[in-house]
Chain A
Amino acid sequence: MLAKRIIPCLDVTDGRVVKGVNFLELRDAGDPVEIAKRYDEQGADELTFLDITASSDNRGLLLHIIEEVASQVFIPLTVGGGVREVEDVRRLLNAGADKVSINTTAVLNPNMVRDAAARFGSQCIVVAIDAKKVENQAFEWEVFTHGGRKPTGLDAVKWAEYMVSLGAGELLVTSMDRDGTKIGFNNPLNRAISNAVDVPIIASGGVGNLQHLVEGIQLGGADAVLAASIFHYGEYTVQQAKAYMQQHGIEVRL
């Protein structure tokens, strides 16, 4: 049976892994290549790198990091952050990424998702959706861009369906209300999107303990769960997370 996946996420800026709460108070969490190797040894099913470098000056650093990681770690690598053109996708794939995650650009220029999927295949195109609960709208969750700062007026569930129709092979769904809060995933949001599309979805935003990972799968209907801080600071290892999920009846790769 297909295993549910655990994906540690590494936020990278200026060549270092960092973690903050709601993009504030960034703390240094270490060297990306070392951290990637450690997660691989712990049994991570995939790794996601998000480039949160504010200026474009240091973007080249990430390509170098991906090259380093890809020559030492043989599990799927997803890279996102600042992907604006089809050419950016090509550069990341050539550096060793297996999938590229597209976020703000998907909203500004949806055709870029279609073009990238047509050229490189849906299997390597992940669309990242940052969503927030909204009141007084015809829908429950709205898509936000620019790291959760700009509202778009788009219904997150409809948006997910549209992105899949353009060729997205997987969706990374982040609840902006939950990100960094450690109170658990937004499971109703994830469930609504998971039911609406055929492609796998990755739940993100809000993990504080291992029970949250179980709920992300069982309540949220996610195919994979993404977490950062619970792993970075050694609160839990990936092995512990998998053992806990298995005890709760979830199929995992041990």
Chain B
Amino acid sequence: MKKIDIAVVDYGMGNLRSVSKALEHVAPTKNVLVTSNPKDIASASRVVFPGQGAMPDCIRELDLRGLRQAVIDATSNKPFLGICIGMQMLFEHSEEGDCPGLGVFNGLVTRFNADAMHDANGAKLKVPHMGWNQVYQSQVSQKPHCLWQGIENGARFYYVHSYYVLPDDDSITSGFSEYPQRFTGAIAKDNLFAVQFHPEKSANAGLQMLSNFIAWNP
């Protein structure tokens, strides 16, 4: 059997085509497999955990396919990239549908409060937070994380979400944006990196990040 370089976890929610196409684009020689088989996730060199839609549905579908443990195992033993709901699911609990997450990290997933949000000119801010926002890289020690290599501090990435993560331990925040308050856009710990934005839809900055992920040896 051909070695799986990158397994993209498929639990039947949303569109994984964009993620696999972008990975194939930056790594044409790698074997990228979209899979719902826990064995593939266990044997793959790297795992990408995407997500779209509502978190309660995502968790339910993940469990229906028996993927929970394979995903939790991968978060601790190989380069792992969570995207959007794939980041939110790593936390303990989401306000969306009052739903428990996988509990890899302590902290909650909370909603933007649309009623209370205005920009500097007093204009109403919309929810979902949709579009290109600047992502500022956290300065942990002096060295930026591997996944930020070649990406300007403050580069814009494409977001579309109504909920965001509140990690108990803010030192895992590796990138943040403002809407209008500062919120966590990326987290990093050991072999794990996760982002609220969509690198697969963020033009050159996003492709650079995916390319960095494939080259990353934590």
A5 with B52: in contact, given A93-B15, A98-B201 (CB under 8 Å)?
no
Stretch at the interface among B36-44, B69-77, B124-132: B124-132
Q: Which residues of A have CB within 8 Å of B132?
A: 2-3, 5, 45, 253
A70 touches B17 (CB 8 A): yes
Expressed in whole angstroms, the Cα–Cα distance for A70 and B201 within the complex equals 10
B:124-160 near A, CB below 8 Å: 124-134, 156, 158-160
Q: Which residues of B have CB within 8 Å of A123?
A: 52-53, 128, 130, 160-161
A96 touches B21 (CB 8 A): yes
A199 touches B128 (CB 8 A): yes
- Residue of B54, B127, B159, B207 near A198 (CB, 8 A) is B127
A98 with B128: in contact, given A3-B133, A74-B203, A121-B52 (CB under 8 Å)?
no
B:149-177 near A, CB below 8 Å: 156, 158-161
Q: Which residues of A have CB within 8 Å of B114?
A: 198
B158 touches A96 (CB 8 A): no
B131 touches A224 (CB 8 A): yes
- Residue of B14, B54, B131, B201 near A2 (CB, 8 A) is B131
A122 on the B face (CB < 8 A): yes
Give the interface centre of B130, B134, B202 by most chain A CB atoms within 10 Å.
B130
A71 touches B201 (CB 8 A): no
Expressed in whole angstroms, the Cα–Cα distance for A2 and B128 within the complex equals 12
B131 touches A94 (CB 8 A): no
Expressed in whole angstroms, the Cα–Cα distance for A119 and B131 within the complex equals 22
Expressed in whole angstroms, the Cα–Cα distance for A163 and B105 within the complex equals 36
Give the interface centre of A71, A94, A221 by most chain B CB atoms within 10 Å.
A71
B216 on the A face (CB < 8 A): no
Expressed in whole angstroms, the Cα–Cα distance for A69 and B44 within the complex equals 28
Expressed in whole angstroms, the Cα–Cα distance for A138 and B155 within the complex equals 47
Q: Which residues of A have CB within 8 Å of B128?
A: 122-123, 169-170, 199-200
B179 touches A70 (CB 8 A): no
Q: Report, nearest first, the 10 A-B pairs whose CB atoms are least far apart.
A: A121-B53, A253-B132, A198-B114, A93-B15, A200-B126, A3-B132, A123-B160, A253-B156, A2-B133, A121-B52
B-binding residues in A (CB < 8 A): 1-5, 40, 45, 70-72, 74-76, 93-98, 119-124, 169-170, 194-195, 198-200, 221, 223-224, 253
Known: A71-B25, A96-B18, A223-B130. 16 other contacts (CB 8 A): A1-B178, A2-B125, A4-B131, A5-B132, A74-B202, A75-B203, A98-B15, A119-B53, A124-B14, A169-B128, A169-B130, A170-B130, A198-B126, A199-B126, A199-B128, A200-B131
29 contacts between A and B (CB under 8 A): A1-B133, A2-B125, A2-B129, A2-B179, A3-B132, A45-B131, A70-B17, A70-B18, A71-B21, A71-B24, A71-B25, A74-B206, A76-B158, A76-B201, A94-B15, A96-B15, A96-B21, A97-B15, A98-B15, A120-B14, A120-B53, A121-B52, A122-B128, A123-B52, A169-B130, A170-B128, A194-B124, A198-B124, A253-B132
